[in-house]
């Protein structure tokens, strides 16, 4: 069983020619609402990856915004541990998606900020606990410490970016960040590889957008170049990567295999609109992988050079 503890938001999405600059008003093209939130997105991705029963601990308000979130997760066959906060609104996110598929997001956390340490369910039968940082970091730390003490693998997607307390990092087995989040974790910069060597977590995965991703597992480095796709909307691509990665690790697959499948799922998510609505199912990811051969040596070399692997 994979347990995801994190946020659930209803996304209010406007498509526009470009993301507004400060003080600028942009006329949008379309408006849609989608179920979202990093935690719920990752739970949906984990469940859709198949082979790994998935549960989620989440907090919701007692309002209409909660209904599509519950329906989406239940449709993905995610077992729910729901904390109701009747005096809080369900979390919401306001997203502008530009024609180039980039996005800008503002989140009103609402009930998400009211998940507390006592809400974590029993962990018997749980192999991995997957979390993000859209719930209070004190709660994330408490969950990580309890799971670590129970022998559960703790996976933290340190997003949105913020500094992490040492006691949290000490309880994390796998840290997943993008390049900006990686720099927030460390006080010092340097190449991606140099920064990876400084983080005292057994396994660290860094997603690098259209370049691909790199992982350090103890002293070994793994590279996974990105797949070439025409992006429509990058919302939830990182969440799709995280959920799929943990699902395949939960099935006992190698990190190298999990990185490849997670990268394919994230690429597919970029070809559709919305957050949970864009997350592919396992059969679509399998078909995508069959149609895309393994990267050639030149792609591995380019990614390694960007990360500073040769220089290290």
Annotated catalytic residues are 239
SS3 for 283?
Answer: helix
Torsion 50-12-211-2 (CA) sign = negative
Rounded Cα gap, residues 31 and 251, in angstroms = 38
Q: Please report the DSSP string for 37-49 in residue order.
A: -HHHHHHHHHHHH
Q: Which alpha helices (H) appear in the chain, and where do they start and end? A: 38-49, 66-75, 137-149, 166-169, 179-185, 192-198, 237-250, 255-269, 282-291, 297-307
Q: How far is CA 89 from CA 46, 95, 104, 140, 267, in A?
A: 26, 18, 22, 21, 32
């Amino acid at each position: 069983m994979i347990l995801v503890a994190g946020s659930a938001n209803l996304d209010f999405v406007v498509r526009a020619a470009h993301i507004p600059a400060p003080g600028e008003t942009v006329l949008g093209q379309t408006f849609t609402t989608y179920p979202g939130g990093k935690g719920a997105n990752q739970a949906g991705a984990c469940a859709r990856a198949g082979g790994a029963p998935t549960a989620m601990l989440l907090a919701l308000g007692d309002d209409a915004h909660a209904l599509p979130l519950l329906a989406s997760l239940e449709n993905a066959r995610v077992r729910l541990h729901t904390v109701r906060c009747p005096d809080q609104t369900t979390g919401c996110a306001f997203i502008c998606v530009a024609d180039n598929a980039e996005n800008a997001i503002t989140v009103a956390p609402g009930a998400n900020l009211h998940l507390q340490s006592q809400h974590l369910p029993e962990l018997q039968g749980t192999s991995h606990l997957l979390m993000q940082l859209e719930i209070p970091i004190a709660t994330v730390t408490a969950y990580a410490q309890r799971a670590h003490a129970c022998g559960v693998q703790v996976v933290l997607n340190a997003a949105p970016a913020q500094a992490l307390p040492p006691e949290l990092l000490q309880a994390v087995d796998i840290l997943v960040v993008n390049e900006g989040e990686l720099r927030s974790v460390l006080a010092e910069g340097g190449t991606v590889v140099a920064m990876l060597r400084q983080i005292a977590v057994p396994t660290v995965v860094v997603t690098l957008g259209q370049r691909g991703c790199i992982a350090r597992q103890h002293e070994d480095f793994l590279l996974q170049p990105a797949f070439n796709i025409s992006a429509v909307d990058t919302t939830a691509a990182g969440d799709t990567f995280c959920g799929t990665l943990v699902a395949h690790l939960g099935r006992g697959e190698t990190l190298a295999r999990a990185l490849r499948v997670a990268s394919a799922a994230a690429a597919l998510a970029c070809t559709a609109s919305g957050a949970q609505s864009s997350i592919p199912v396992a059969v679509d990811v399998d078909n995508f992988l069959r149609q895309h051969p393994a990267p050639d040596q030149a792609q591995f070399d380019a990614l390694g050079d960007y990360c500073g692997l040769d220089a290290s």
